[in-house]
Amino acid sequence: MKEILRGVIDLHVHAGPSVAKREVDAAEMLKEAVEHGYRGFLIKDHYFPTMMSAQLVEKHLGKDNVKVFGAIALNNSVGGFNLKALDVAYSMGAKIVYMPTVSSNQHIEDHKGHSFPGSGNAQVEEKPIIYVDENGNLQEEVKDILKYVAKRPDLILGTGHGSAREVDALITEAVKAGVKKILVNHPFYLIGASMEQITKWGKMGAYIELNACVFQPSNFGVTPLDIARQVLENVPIEQIVLDSDYGQNKNGSPVEGLYKFIQILMNELNVTEEQINIMAKETPAKLLGI
């Protein structure tokens, strides 16, 4: 066992079954999590809510008190900003609701000319979603989503793959609406956020994701490690969430990917074991309410 992993809660694992090929399915991920002493993990899928696979594997295959959580992403496959879909997902135990990822215009434009490893073989073309108008105002249906989340303090708002402009408007409105738990997904990758914006969102109370997948060789290339250094310097350690974002086909084990990134952070950026424990264990537990 890699001792530093004992007690980890990975909030961003792409485990099958999914429309896309995955390196692990939920049962295989649970087996690895148990083996390495994880406290839990959350399964993210771009196209389908994941509470069913999460609950099934935890109930029938779980042991050592490893918890498995599910989520929903508000993409075209669930009707976009579908409040009913969110309500049903929450009723089934969803812990995170993500704003559009693969359906966002930002994501679609960023992947023009090359395939996205998480898209699978779905054949109906995505209808691009932009949820902020030219004046920076959110669509009313997005505000309804935020009102729903605000009334449920155990539900986490994930910012998804929108543009920095959209994410900024979203966080501003979410804070105004009273949303307590906002997780900014890889703002330095695909989103195009500046460090000034990332710092601002942290000061507004949002949690900033530092995901292993984009900082080391993978299907997504490599984000400069200096970006991670800047996040660590500009955002309070208690507001950074360290997770894997692994599980894509041919990207290797999410557990191994997270472990390698932890070693990089400790060896090259002088991150301490105490700081790793806060980012990968304590803060995720706080967000999940466990």
Q: Give residue 1's pLDDT.
A: 66
pLDDT band at residue 289 using 50, 70 and 90 as cut-offs: very high
Contact 244, 213 (CB under 8 A): yes
On the question of pLDDT at 245 being above 80, the answer is yes
Question: Region 225-237: what's the mean pLDDT?
Answer: 98
Mind listing the pLDDT tens digit for each residue in 115-128? 776 677 778 989 99
SS3 state at 98: strand
The C-alpha atoms of residue 40 and residue 285 are separated, in whole angstroms, by: 9
- What pTM does this model have? 0.97
Contact 38, 63 (CB under 8 A): no
Residue 113 gets which letter from DSSP? Answer: T
Distance of CA 92 to the CA centre of its chain: 19
- Reported as a single tens digit per residue, the pLDDT across 164-184 is 999 999 999 999 999 999 999
pLDDT digits (tens, 9 = 90+) for 40-93: 999 999 999 999 999 999 999 998 899 999 999 999 999 999 999 999 999 999
State the chain's mean pLDDT as an integer: 95
Q: Which amino acid is at 4?
A: I
Bridge partners of residue 73, in order along the sequence: 98
For residue 121, the one-letter residue type is N
pLDDT tens for 84-112 read: 999 999 999 999 999 999 999 999 999 88
> Which tokens sit at 148?
């729903």
- pLDDT (mean) for 227-243: 98
Residues 5 and 284 sit within 8 Å (Cβ to Cβ): no
Amino acid 120: pLDDT: 72
Q: What is the pLDDT of residues 247-282, one digit of tens each?
A: 999 899 999 999 999 999 999 999 999 999 999 999
Average pLDDT over residues 145-158: 98
pLDDT score for 39: 98
- Please answer whether residues 287 and 156 qualify as being in contact, where contact means their C-beta atoms are separated by less than 8 angstroms: yes
User: What is the pLDDT at residue 128?
Assistant: 97
List of domains in the chain: 3-288 (3.20.20.140)
Q: Quote the pLDDT of residue 165.
A: 98
